[in-house]
Chain A
Amino acid sequence: MILIQGALCTIEITQDGLDSRAEAEAAVPNTRKACKAQMLALIGQLAETRTLKSPEQFRNEGQGIFAIKANCGLRAYGWFHRKRRGVFVVSHFIMKKKQKLDPVDLIRAIQNRESYEDA
């Protein structure tokens, strides 16, 4: 499903991405509501420019999986589609406190990539 079509990149989202958003956002503290908006702004910016310049906000986690990171710990994992140039696919959202990548999220994103690109 298409999330947004920007000038340089189309952002798509998996079913896991759609399903995980509410749970991840529910874990954001009420005092950090702007964090949800920041995530949307980061995704919108990625659609416009195909990259984000701040490594704290857009990080290659390895094996072609990228993390889009809002300040409060809200994250979206995703990848650039290997067969369709200019397409970034959001795998899933999570809310986490620690900076370090949880291998479970890397595996989850890789699995989503396999099923999404094979579909």
Chain B
Amino acid sequence: MNGSLLQQWINESEEMQRLYAQEKLILEVSERIMDVLEKRNLNRVQLADVLGTSKSHVTQLLNGTRNMTLRTLADIACKLNYRVAVRFTEWRESDDWQHAEAVVHRRRLPLQLSPVDAANGDDWSEPRLLRV
């Protein structure tokens, strides 16, 4: 994204950079939760049921109109039999580390799980991928 017109728009002000970082994180977390819901063949109503809340509350969390606390995120992961992995990434790094499919499609390079991730077993929600 570096050097792109979108990046120029993000860089228009420090405030925009800060807000973009917030919104990007919210969006990525929401997209990952919806990935897991798809894998589990669950919809928002069913997620709301297991969390003991309403569908509209879940929708607000996923759309970012309501702030999701770390406790709520942990609850969601727990109820879906996952755990949340946190990784800080340098801004200049590509975003695509988190999208295995994207890496495969774009680079068409062989991939392998890192030893750390492999040791965590099959329940690792988004295994980190290393280009070899």
Contacts and interface: CB of A to CB of B under 8 A. Distances in A.
Interface of A: 1-8, 11, 13, 33-34, 36-38, 40-45, 47-49, 52-54, 56-57, 71
B26 to A, nearest CB: 8
Given A40-B9, A45-B28, A56-B59, A4 B4 contact: yes
A2 B30 CA distance: 27
Contacts of B106: 7-8
Binding site of A, secondary structure by majority: helix, strand, loop or mixed? mixed
A45 B27 contact: yes
A3 B99 CA distance: 21
Contacts, number: 94
Contact of A53 (B20, B24, B34, B94): B34
A71 B35 contact: no
A34 B6 contact: no
A3 B16 contact: no
Q: How large is the interface on B (under 10, 10 to 19, 20 to 34, 35 or more residues)?
A: 35 or more
B62 A33 contact: no
B6 A4 contact: yes
Contact of B27 (A6, A13, A41): A41
A48 B4 CA distance: 14
14 contacts: A3-B4, A7-B96, A7-B102, A7-B103, A8-B102, A11-B6, A13-B5, A37-B16, A41-B26, A45-B31, A47-B1, A48-B96, A54-B34, A71-B65
